[in-house]
Chain A
Amino acid sequence: MSLKFTPQTQNARILSVGAYRPPRVVPNSEIVGRIDSTDEWIQQRTGIVSRHFASADESLIDMAEKSAHIAIARAGLTAEDIDAVIFATISYPYQAPSAATELLVRLGNTKAAAFDISAACAGFCYGVALANDLVRNKTAKNVLVMGAEKLSDFTDPDDRATAFIFADGAGSVVIGPSDEIGIGPTVWGASAETREAIVLEPSYLEYKNNPGKLDLGWPNINQQGQTVFRWAVYEIAPIALRALEAAGLTPETLDVFIPHQANDRIIESLVKSMKLPESVVVAHDIRTSGNTSSASIPLAMDALLAEKPELHGKSALLIGFGAGLVYAGQVVELPNKPKTK
């Protein structure tokens, strides 16, 4: 038997980016009381000065919807033009159906292909890799890649290792056809032997199998900070350099570096290990956004383009890394100035 398939190919790029940060700004002073810490200690350890938390009645999808509307409008498109949605998140509180399909309903386009991916802080870059291949192969025309998290729902405010790190927000891009190559090759993989370094537990089944056992607690993110720091700094730098090389660039010819905003100390160490020259603009959105997992890279991208509009159309190295442990990186051309506001 022979199946019919006519290979087609085209170039793809990021057409636009959209960001939504919940209005409630939470300074370190609001966090420190429950973890016997100080503003100075948190800033020194993580670079974080403040972060945004969604309100109790503001859902993950509320945030994602606002981000998506901005990204779609900036691409000069409408929701009907989106024919696939890839939603990267670890904080959607349902196993099924997906966050992506709830977003479709909100966007008023219920017919597009839609699915979620679970790659934690690497989720956005995994999504960009998939969207690029979908558009290049003409499986889809315009793909919305969403990174959104409401991590305040899954963070223990009494945990001295995580309470000050995680935060809420939604960032998205539209990836569509392009005359030129706008997204370089993705370098990705895992260090799954270290998968216990960041876990969200207990599982649903532990509640089912231990009815009434109150000390199970709510499922929260647990993180072995030193293990993650060591991996993030010493394993990720060479991977990021491989993604740069795969796109035909060098540290000297790169314009912008947007790593996952995990911890400012990790970002500073990556810049040092990779020997990036001072000419490279580095995203430090973590200082006022905290670690928003899958949302951190598009949020940081949006903030940089708002602050420095001259960066539109420039080259940016993206690298996501996190629970799994998993990673993905690629060089992209940042979106051009929006066609509409």
Chain B
Amino acid sequence: MALTVDVVLAGIKEIVVEVAGIDAGIIAMDKKFTDDLDVDSLSMVEVVVAAEEKFGVKIPDEEVTKMATVGDAVNFIVANGK
């Protein structure tokens, strides 16, 4: 399955719901992990590792620090995925 924005966003939603225990409905491209979704820096590591497994993509630590919004993460995975 091609890694389109829609596909990756749906996957990230599943992961964030699992890690942060929040409602999928409030997760959108413009939401900030820390401020809007209660994903702190350590939970962010869990999200990133789960995303790496799910999409078969490597997300270096220096990229993680740049990912403020859900859209940042989705776009990185789409651009760098197979």
Bound pair (A, B):
yes
Q: Residues on A close to B: CB < 8 A?
A: 44-45, 224-227, 229-230, 233-234, 263, 265, 269
With the chains together, A230 CA to B46 CA distance in Å?
A: 8
With the chains together, A269 CA to B50 CA distance in Å?
A: 13
Shortest B57–chain A CB gap in Å is 15
| Complex contact B49–A230 (CB within 8 A) | yes
Which of B40, B46, B49, B61 has a CB less than 8 Å from the CB of A227?
B61
Shortest B13–chain A CB gap in Å is 21
Q: Which residues of B contact A225 (CB under 8 A)?
A: 41-42
- Give residues 19-57 of B contacting A (CB, 8 Å): 40-42, 44-46, 48-49
16 contacts between A and B (CB under 8 A): A45-B42, A225-B41, A225-B42, A226-B41, A226-B42, A226-B44, A226-B45, A227-B61, A229-B45, A230-B45, A230-B48, A230-B61, A233-B49, A234-B49, A265-B42, A269-B46
| Complex contact A226–B40 (CB within 8 A) | no
| Complex contact A226–B65 (CB within 8 A) | yes
Query: CB of B64 within 8 A of chain A?
Result: yes
| Complex contact A233–B61 (CB within 8 A) | no
Total residues of chain B contacting the partner, CB 8 A: 11
Nearest to A232 among chain B residues (CB) is B45
A44-B40, A45-B42 are known contacts. Are A226 and B49 too (CB-CB below 8 A)? no
Shortest B27–chain A CB gap in Å is 21
With the chains together, A233 CA to B47 CA distance in Å?
A: 13
The 7 closest A-B pairs by CB, nearest first: A230-B45, A227-B61, A229-B45, A229-B42, A226-B45, A265-B42, A226-B41
Q: Residues on B close to A: CB < 8 A?
A: 40-42, 44-46, 48-49, 61, 64-65
Shortest A119–chain B CB gap in Å is 23
With the chains together, A73 CA to B48 CA distance in Å?
A: 49
Known: A224-B61, A229-B45. 6 other contacts (CB 8 A): A226-B41, A226-B45, A226-B61, A226-B65, A227-B61, A230-B45
The CB with the most chain A CB atoms within 10 A, among B42, B46, B48, B64, is that of: B42
Q: Which residues of B contact A233 (CB under 8 A)?
A: 45-46, 49
Shortest A114–chain B CB gap in Å is 39
Q: Which residues of A contact B41 (CB under 8 A)?
A: 225-226
The CB with the most chain B CB atoms within 10 A, among A224, A225, A230, is that of: A230
Shortest A270–chain B CB gap in Å is 13
Shortest A233–chain B CB gap in Å is 7
Q: Which residues of A contact B44 (CB under 8 A)?
A: 226
Which of B40, B46, B61 has a CB less than 8 Å from the CB of A45?
B40
Q: Which residues of B contact A263 (CB under 8 A)?
A: 42
Q: Which residues of A contact B65 (CB under 8 A)?
A: 226
Shortest A221–chain B CB gap in Å is 18
With the chains together, A226 CA to B39 CA distance in Å?
A: 13
Nearest to B44 among chain A residues (CB) is A226
Q: Which residues of A contact B42 (CB under 8 A)?
A: 45, 225-226, 229, 263, 265
Shortest A225–chain B CB gap in Å is 6
